[in-house]
Amino acid sequence: MTQTFEIPVPDAPTAPSSRVPGRWGLTWHGVRTVAALELRQRVRSTRWIVALGVWAVVVGAITLVLFGALDVLVGAPADDVTRDESGPVLFAAVTFLVLGLGLLVTPTLASTSVNGDRNAGTLATLQVTLLSPAEIALGKLLAAWAASCAFLAVSVPFLAIATGAGPTPWWSLVRVVALIAALLVAVCGIGLGMSALVARTAGSSVLTFVVVAAVTFIAPILFGVTYATVSSDETVRVYGVPSSWDGTDQAACEWTQDVRSVAHTERTWWLLGVNPFVVVADGAGTHATPGHGDDDPLAALRDAVRQARAGVQGQVDECWLASDEFVPASDDAPVWPWGLGVNLLLGAAGYVVAVRRLSVPQRTLPRGTRVA
């Protein structure tokens, strides 16, 4: 009887597998690597420290000037009534100051992320590694956002001073900081997309400022320009002084029906809703002091935009006498989710453009572009 023996043959050695990332492949290690490289490069720059110092000096000086000026205008700060009047004004002024400066500084932090590295010949080094275009773009986006949030963090003590100066609730401070940070990441996304789309750093910076100006200034201007186009003569209820009143006796306003020019702002209110200042004012959640309806600029701006969204609704207030009977049409639904969503969509579009432009190989490159 013959027995057969099988001699085991060792398997052939296999080459170590390497990850070939796709365009949209994302890992935390890759994103962190790119973000760390970007931040390390910024921290080594002396201009970064100088910029933070100048920011702190400017915001602090203006806050102290506003604090002293309001105390002089409304009276002694120890009075509770004056605190109720000056505190919300100071908080709104510092909030708008920080947001306005953030919208000016942030585009310069992100609008040269891609074309600046391409011109310096360092972008190709990242593109030939196992890092995917999505990881490179997201890492640069997070680094630019972290840099802009550093400026915001320097401003938090001054916002806290403004909050403590009046009856503004502390949770309004938290909401304001969170909304400003969300708007800054949207601006960073826009700048990243422009830096990947345009070869010159100056051109990408200008285009980023143009987009930011479009939602901040141009959209409200368009709202005012189109005001006449949405106005028409309609029969509405008018709350005003009686036509028979001769001005001698005590009178009260009454309701009548007449033809008036009515502006249907419910059709164009979204031009105001995309404004970053409206987003922050509406989302801050502050409330005017009873009896002082105009002492809180944030609440006044919020109510004005919500009234514009509600429209006239067939009622017009022409009563100049002191009366609480007429309540203007308003919509209690918040506006800030709409405006913040539009800004974040613009930032997401910029991120998508950056990922597509960072894909290798590129079919065409601008003339004079340095590859490596």
Residue 314 shares a structural domain with residue 209: no
Residue 146 shares a structural domain with residue 200: yes
Whether 200 is covered by a domain: the verdict is: yes
The pTM of this model reads: 0.84
Residue 113 shares a structural domain with residue 148: yes
- What per-residue confidence (pLDDT) applies to 9? 43
Contact in structure between 252 and 323 (CB atoms under 8 Å):
yes
Residue 67 shares a structural domain with residue 169: yes
Question: What range does the domain containing 266 cover?
Answer: 231-243+254-318
Residue 195, phi then psi, degrees to nearest 5:
-70, -30
- How many C-beta neighbours within 10 Å does residue 161 have? 16
Contact in structure between 282 and 339 (CB atoms under 8 Å):
yes
Whether 23 is covered by a domain: the verdict is: no
Task: State how far Cα 164 lies from the chain centre.
Answer: 24
Whether 324 is covered by a domain: the verdict is: no
Whether 267 is covered by a domain: the verdict is: yes
Whether 325 is covered by a domain: the verdict is: no
Residue 268 shares a structural domain with residue 215: no
Task: Please tell me the total count of domains within the chain.
Answer: 2
Residue 281 shares a structural domain with residue 344: no
Residue 277 shares a structural domain with residue 184: no
* Torsional sign, CA 197, 199, 201, 202: negative
Residue 159 shares a structural domain with residue 36: yes
In the chain (372 residues long), the average pLDDT of successive 10-residue segments reads 48 46 82 90 76 90 84 55 71 93 91 87 84 92 94 94 86 95 96 92 93 95 92 84 71 81 89 95 74 71 90 77 58 88 96 89 58 52
- What per-residue confidence (pLDDT) applies to 325? 57
Residue 121 shares a structural domain with residue 142: yes
Place of tokens 């979204």: 270
Residue 78 shares a structural domain with residue 203: yes
Residue 306 shares a structural domain with residue 164: no
- What per-residue confidence (pLDDT) applies to 294? 57
Whether 309 is covered by a domain: the verdict is: yes
Whether 2 is covered by a domain: the verdict is: no
Residue 263 shares a structural domain with residue 292: yes
Whether 8 is covered by a domain: the verdict is: no
